[in-house]
Structures are given as structure tokens and as C-alpha cells.
Structure 1
């Protein structure tokens, strides 16, 4: 009784659909009770492939008892009082239907397309061609090794104690270290003590101390990031002036 009230309340019903020729086919489909039987058959045609004119539809209840044949195409589905869980069984009356003979279920009945090795070799966009192309590609060149003198020339005018500005960000400070830093990689590096806590350490990098400065004021960068000159400390209140 509760199921019947639910059906009448929402105006639709959920039915299981089976097919005479498609033994493995089974689907739950929702139908409006206001749909005509002809509209129901059109919906079943899209689901099963059986044409409307070749279709006979039977309605079964949830105990597998046949209730009626849906033979009057002009009547609404609700006339037959279906409920959630009932079953619509589609019978295909066309002996030449696409659903007959198991063609839609048994893939072994479908003739497989085969191509000869000769014809396959004539094609360009194949996986075989792709593998051959990869096999003949030149391995990517190795990255150029950085020398121990990398950016040494940029350090010629940078010395400890110089005021500087570091990019990006125009961060100002004082040079505290110039030279190689093996723990960071080959080449030359510049150690900076920023005027403000814009750094990452206190002059110790990866267990090696290159200089001393307050915590979070230290940085070690490449020389091309550093400009030395007259870079006085910024007034912390100058941004508030109008």
C-alpha cells in the first residue's frame, strides 16, 4: 500500500525491463504514469533496439505473475496500475530484428577486422611507427656542468661590508660573505644580512656557517641577484608618511 501511494504521489514508477532476445539484458527504468503505452514503447525501443511496431510488452508484478499485455497504445501507463519493482518484458516479434540471433550479446558472432602485416607496415600513424621513432631518437643532451668558477667575474666589485640590494623584491642589506659555498653547489655565492627579517637563517646553511647575523636575516644568493652601492636602510615609517 505504501508503494502504491508513493507511485501516485510522485507520478512515476521504477520498473525492471527485460527482453526476449537479450538474455543478459536487465535494466531499471523510470516511467511517468502519464505516458501513453506508445510513448513507453518508444522509450523501450531506445533501450533495447526493438522497433515499436514489432514490440509486444508484458507487465509482471514483483512475484513474477503476469498482470496484463500493454496492447492499447493510447492508454496511459497508469491505467495498468504498475508499482515500483514490477517488470516490463519486451517480446521482439520481428525474426530479422537486430536483437535476434544473439548478435548484440555474443561478440564471437561478429566478424573481426584483420589487416595483413604488409598493409599495416604501409600505415604511418601506428604504434609500431611510434616505437620505431622512439628507438631512433637521439638521447637528450646532458645538462651543462657548472664549473667551480661560475659567476666569479661578477664578484669582482662585491666585497664584504658593501651595502646592497637583492632582487627580486629590492631587499636591502649588507654583504657578509663572498666566495664558494660547496654545500650549495659549485660556483660563487654572496652571503647577505638583510636589514629586516626577510631571510631564511642566521648565516648557517646546511650545517656550514658562512657568516653571522640575527635569525631570519640571512640569505645566500648568486652574484647576479646582488647590486652594491648606496643603499641606505629604509626608514620603517617612511611608507606611512603622506
Structure 2
């Protein structure tokens, strides 16, 4: 069995699959997870040791089954499922939830809860997100781990950032806290990097959380990827983008 991170615009979950799964079987399983019809899918395979990602469009390429059979799934860490049907229920829900002021597709809470074909129903049936029996326990455990991590970090001290699949980067820890524009649960670290390996100037969506620092020298990183200590002196290294920061 292999474990893949399955993502779409509405879902993010780790799932196990057999290594010899066919493309047809994979699409069927992805349908139960994301609610996206196989004929509407565009799959982006994310490889562990490569920045190159494979794109597969099952409904539009006759040779995809043969191509897929040649892929070593043990080298794949995730698959992103894009819905190419703009009129699908999943895309309508995405449009509806993107803004409370959206004048397009809208459902009242009662109508939304009653629709058996809604993404909410898919999540209920597949025990995803808050419908996972272990969701609350996992979330509480994660919050405790974040609290423990906060106690180990010191603002204003040298730091090291190690995100999955990326080289180590170093700089200064300038901020620890929540960023409401993202969510009200996670704790983020504001980093001033030694090199222009960041993504901002210490601000997010117009709110300045530290600095300002020179653009591209600042970033917000999930707390579990950060360590502080005087030993983390500057060094030069090649840097690349990461999905674990904004």
C-alpha cells in the first residue's frame, strides 16, 4: 500500500492505495473522496523527488491508461484533482463559498444540508474532515503540539526552517501567532530570512505582522517546521518555493 495526499479545491486528505491500482480504479476512488466525476477530472501527480509534476486528463487522452501503468506510484506523494466542469456541484459550491457577497450560485443552510449530492453529504458518507470520528481528537492533539512548540521558540533569535522536500533555510524568528485571514486555528511563525527565499515583506493580505522587511525576505511558516538557537548562523544555499508557507 502507498499513501497519497489527495487534494481538490474542497478536500485535503491522506488516503492509502494499492501500488498496482489502475487509472480507472484510481479515478473511481477519487470520485468518492472529492465528489468530482471521473470524466471531469484533471489529475496532477506530485512526485517526491522532483519539481516536475505529471498531468493526466482521463477523459481526454486515450493513451493515459498506458502512461499511468508506467508510473512508479511509490515515487508519488500526492495527487491534486481539478474539476474541469464549471457547472458541477463541486465547482458551484466553491464559487458559493468563495465570498459571502457572491451573487451567483447560493443555497440556504437548510437547502445545503438537505442536498444528498452536496459535498457535505460526500464528506459525511466518507467520514472526511469534521465527520471523521477521530477529527476532534486529532485537532486537539495538534493544538497541544503547537503549544509545546511555542514554548521551545524564542522571538528575536536565530532560526532554522526545514520544510518537507526543501533545503534548510535560516534567518530570524520575528513573529509567532495566528493569522485570521488564513484560519483561527493554526499557529504561524514570521521569518526574516538571510536570503531572498521568502514570499513577502512580513505582511499578509495587507496586514503587517512583522517588519516590514525587504520583499521576498519574509515568510509565514507553519510552527512545526521552525527551530530557534544561536547555532543557526547564516549560510548560503539554493532555495525553492514550498507549499508549507504563504
User: Per the shorter chain, which TM-score range?
Assistant: 0.3 to 0.5
Q: TM-score, normalised by structure 2?
A: 0.37
Q: TM-score, normalised by structure 1?
A: 0.37
The structure that is helix-richer by fraction is 2
Structure possessing the higher radius of gyration over alpha carbons:
1
